[in-house]
Amino acid sequence: MRSDLQEKTAETGEDKLRWRYQDKAYNEIYRQWRKKNQDSVGFYFAENSSKLTYQDGVGLIKDFPEEREKHALEKVLDLIGKCMLFCVLCDVFSKYFFPRILTWLGFDINYDFFTNKLYGNSYIIMTIDFLSIFIPRLLASIYLIITIKIPFKVILPMKISNKPMFNVCIPAMLLSSGVCCIISMMSASLFSAVHIRPNYFVTLPGSVTEAIYFITEQIIIISIVREFFCRGIILQLTRQFGDEFAILITSFIMASSRYDISKFFYSFIAAMVIGYFTIRTGSVLTAVIMKITYLVFNYAVSFIYYKTDPAYSNVILISFLFACISTGLIFVIRFLYFHSDSFGMVLKNRYMSLGKKMLLSLTNISIIMWLTGVIIVTLIGVYFTS
């Protein structure tokens, strides 16, 4: 009778986070998966005195929770690092080698190393961009799902547990994107001082059919693929080590994958906002909607910059940013006034401190190899002004 009571207490008290931002079904499925895989990529520690045992020839076995968490985190980081390194290698191949192969085969496509751009048939260029993002992340997702054997209901939670916050995700994304865009433009002088040309705008399709093709691929399909991979698999997998760590690591991965110094902090902050809203609303659908909003905002800014009369483009751009920020601010303030209890989230560490987790991440061999590849590709893509 006593042992049953102890086991029940251990099961209900082992998770200090209590996963209170998800529904009960998610909580139970995730707990069972972590318990089943606690010797590999799952972190599960029941605060039970029976974990302290004596083994002949070894001595007292002290199964501390911090060591358990470190062991699981090392395994997870190794898997994530390998997957992201694979994505970097695919990005390098699709950008620097695949266009040359197509040119050799007679396709109207060419890569200019000095301008860091692809030239030729726009449909081929857009298809290459699409495949270079879609295929690596699809294969990496399949590899992770097979390896970690995590249930789909955990890696792709769809049920919205916080509808008031979900309803304000688009205005919140407009607000954060507008503010970040202004800060990025103001910081352009820092890059100019070191003769680096900042790249705050994106290339737009020329015709209506190209625009439809582009929107379908780059804005809708790619947003779903990226968010399912990052805010689905990686974010949900790393949540077992604390929500704050999961948001930071996924945001850093997303921002680094842009291979663009001038867009790093902009992308990082936007990714932080999306990650926070994803966890707080309990659904990956929030991430997809916010990512689509983020991309539409970027392309709208680029359209104003490139397509409008240069004499009025600055005025139109400032007016657009003001409209986005004002609209977002009004809706967010209204949400906080009526639903302030739905916004806040207690970010608790597990047993390891956040600093130790970040240090462990930066010293992981797979992560180091991925970061090295990212830095090399980023530096190659830097365009210096005269």
SS3 per-residue string spanning the chain: CHHHHHHHHHHHHCCCCCCCCCCHHHHHHHHHHHHHCCCCCCCCCCCCHHHCEEECCCEEECCCHHHHHHHHHHHHHHHHHHHHHHHHHHHHHHHHHHHHHHHHCCCCEEEECCCCEEEECHHHHHHHHHHHHHHHHHHHHHHHHHHHCCCHHHHCCCCCCCHHHHCCHHHHHHHHHHHHHHHHHHCHHHHHHCCECCCCCCCCCCCHHHHHHHHHHHHHHHHHHHHHHHHHHHHHHHHHHCHHHHHHHHHHHHHHCCCCHHHHHHHHHHHHHHHHHHHHHCCHHHHHHHHHHHHHHHHHHHHHHHHCCHHHHHHHHHHHHHHHHHHHHHHHHHHHHHHHHHCCCCCCCCCCCHHHHHHHHHCCHHHHHHHHHHHHHHHHCCCECC
Mean pLDDT to the nearest integer, 13-42: 77
Among 20-29, 313-322, 371-380, the minimum mean pLDDT is found in: 20-29
Mean pLDDT to the nearest integer, 45-49: 59
Is residue 27 scored above 60 in pLDDT? Answer: yes
Burial class of residue 307 (count of CB atoms within 10 Å of its CB; 0-12, 13-18, 19+): exposed
What is the torsion angle, in degrees rounded to the nearest 10, for the CA atoms of residue 218, residue 223, residue 228 and residue 231?
A: 130
Is residue 326 scored above 70 in pLDDT? Answer: yes
pLDDT at 6: 39
Mean pLDDT to the nearest integer, 320-338: 94
Is residue 16 scored above 60 in pLDDT? Answer: no
Mean pLDDT to the nearest integer, 356-385: 88
pLDDT digits (tens, 9 = 90+) for 177-217: 999 888 877 776 676 666 666 665 566 666 778 778 888 88
Select the more confidently predicted residue: 79 or 120.
Answer: 79
Is residue 223 scored above 70 in pLDDT? Answer: yes
pLDDT at 57: 58
Mean pLDDT to the nearest integer, 94-119: 78
Residues 6+ apart with CB under 8 A from 240: 30, 34, 42, 43, 72, 350
Residues 378, 92: Cα–Cα separation, whole Å: 11
Confidence of residue 324 (pLDDT cuts 50, 70, 90): very high
pLDDT digits (tens, 9 = 90+) for 131-184: 888 899 999 999 999 999 889 888 999 989 899 999 999 999 999 999 988 887
Confidence of residue 49 (pLDDT cuts 50, 70, 90): very low
pLDDT digits (tens, 9 = 90+) for 115-135: 667 777 788 888 888 888 889
Select the more confidently predicted residue: 266 or 144.
Answer: 144
Most confident of 43-52, 128-137, 202-211, 365-374: 365-374
The structure's pTM equals 0.86
107 is written with which tokens?
């396709």
Select the more confidently predicted residue: 47 or 31.
Answer: 31
Mean pLDDT to the nearest integer, 257-262: 84
Is residue 12 scored above 50 in pLDDT? Answer: no
Mean pLDDT to the nearest integer, 216-242: 90
Mean pLDDT to the nearest integer, 325-335: 95
Mean pLDDT to the nearest integer, 328-338: 94
Share of the chain above pLDDT 70, in %: 83
pLDDT at 169: 95
Is residue 248 scored above 90 in pLDDT? Answer: yes
Mean pLDDT to the nearest integer, 339-361: 84
pLDDT at 142: 92
Among 43-52, 148-157, 248-257, 262-271, the minimum mean pLDDT is found in: 43-52
Residues 6+ apart with CB under 8 A from 190: none
313 in Cβ contact with 305 (< 8 Å): yes
CA count, 13 A, side-chain hemisphere, 100 = 7
Select the more confidently predicted residue: 57 or 88.
Answer: 88
